[in-house]
Amino acid sequence: MAQVVVVGAGYAGVMAANRLAAVGQSDVRVTVVDPRAEFVERIRLHEHAAGVANAVQERRGLLHRDVRLRVATVEKIAERSVRLDDGGALEFDYLVYAVGSTAASGLSGAEYAHSVADLAGADALRGRLPRLPAGARVVVIGGGLTGIETSAEIAYRYPSLTVELVSQSVAGWLPESSRARIEGKLAKAGVRLRTGLRVTGVRPDGVATDAGFLPSDCTIWAGSFGVPDLALRSDLPVSADGRLRTDDTLVCVDHGRIVGVGDAATPPGHVGEHLRMSCQAAIPMGAHGADTVLALIRGEQPEPLSLGMAGQAIRLGRRDGFIQATHRDDSARGFVLSGRVAALVKERVCRFTLTSMRFPRAYRWLPGPTASESIPAGIR
């Protein structure tokens, strides 16, 4: 029986572990290692921060009954074993690398900004926001999907606060018409837009930009993500931004027994270039990673990943939303959905992420773009 260790039990890791257990059955023994006994719904962390949802879910019912959970942090990956922070170690025949992503501003004074990229940051905000006095200024940095959703959620939940979104642009990658509609929705939520600004640093009392200083009582980083440095520390091959480099089947380019999935892995050009860090990509990558491990165990050649994107779904508070349909390479299509219906669809999408992990064997995904489709710039 092959021992498979899955490092990280987020969207990609849980899907990989469940599919391995459900499909592999007597061929595999699956152990998942994660620092938390509970599952963190990262896509709800901005809602958690605003106090309108709880992003912490029990793992019961989410992990396949044959998957063992070890609550610990992996400190180092060696040739056929991992070292844990509790002094233990686990041996593996195959390892699934699924450690996800974290906040990464790279700004000077980053410690003065809260983050919605992880539970600790969202918890801190959840405690802080209700204690801010009326009129206090909350500055959200980042005009991507996370910044848009975070600023709207806080503005709707705390109308007495002044919420400002600071960025060079808002949804800058989308067509002009979509951008204008999102900006209108943010304004309706009460979010003040400060666009055309590049943030250069954070201070305890505000944000430095290339056009001057913006005072802030509570600053939130909602910009780009970075990844844990576990692969780098373990001397595994990584891209410039620290993600595990894999081939087109998701096998690590330098270690035939390690498979990389989710935000922390980067498959090559035609297979992975259009995949932004998202659970939309992480869940199918987890499923495909499981299929790759099973093929390796059976001595078969794994299939290349073929994964397409479907859209970008934004919820602005409880009753408003915007969905931009995309081509499979993640570039915008002409079709959009707006308003309450879009908010409902986004909520359904969020719920479906959990459902899909509960039915790993039946899970299917959209095939990747054809060679003729263009590759857009990164989004989140």
Ligand X SMILES: Cc1cc2nc3c(=O)[nH]c(=O)nc-3n(C[C@H](O)[C@H](O)[C@H](O)COP(=O)(O)OP(=O)(O)OC[C@H]3O[C@@H](n4cnc5c(N)ncnc54)[C@H](O)[C@@H]3O)c2cc1C
Q: Which residues bind ligand X (CB under 6 A)?
A: 7-13, 33-35, 40, 42-43, 45-46, 73-74, 98-101, 116-117, 146, 228, 230, 262-264, 277-280, 282, 313
The count of residues in the chain is 380
DSSP three-state, residue 139: strand
Residue closer to ligand X (CB basis): 140 or 215: 140
Which secondary structure element, helix H or strand E, spans residue 73, and what is its range?
Answer: none
Residue closer to ligand X (CB basis): 119 or 202: 119
340: how many CB neighbours lie within 10 A of its CB? 11
Residue closer to ligand X (CB basis): 10 or 206: 10
Q: Shortest approach of ligand X to residue 6 CB, angstroms?
A: 9
What is the rounded distance in angstroms from the CA atom of residue 97 to the CA atom of residue 180?
Answer: 39
Q: Shortest approach of ligand X to residue 127 CB, angstroms?
A: 17
Residue closer to ligand X (CB basis): 298 or 340: 340
Q: Shortest approach of ligand X to residue 322 CB, angstroms?
A: 12
Residue closer to ligand X (CB basis): 262 or 376: 262
Tell me the residue number closest to ligand X, measured at CB: 10
Which secondary structure element, helix H or strand E, spans residue 23, and what is its range?
Answer: none
Contacts 24+ apart (CB under 8 A), 377-380: 377/173, 378/276, 379/144, 379/145, 379/173, 379/276, 379/312, 379/330, 380/144, 380/145, 380/146, 380/224, 380/225, 380/276, 380/277, 380/278
Q: Shortest approach of ligand X to residue 9 CB, angstroms?
A: 5
Residue closer to ligand X (CB basis): 205 or 235: 235
Q: Shortest approach of ligand X to residue 82 CB, angstroms?
A: 8
DSSP three-state, residue 64: coil
Q: Shortest approach of ligand X to residue 221 CB, angstroms?
A: 11
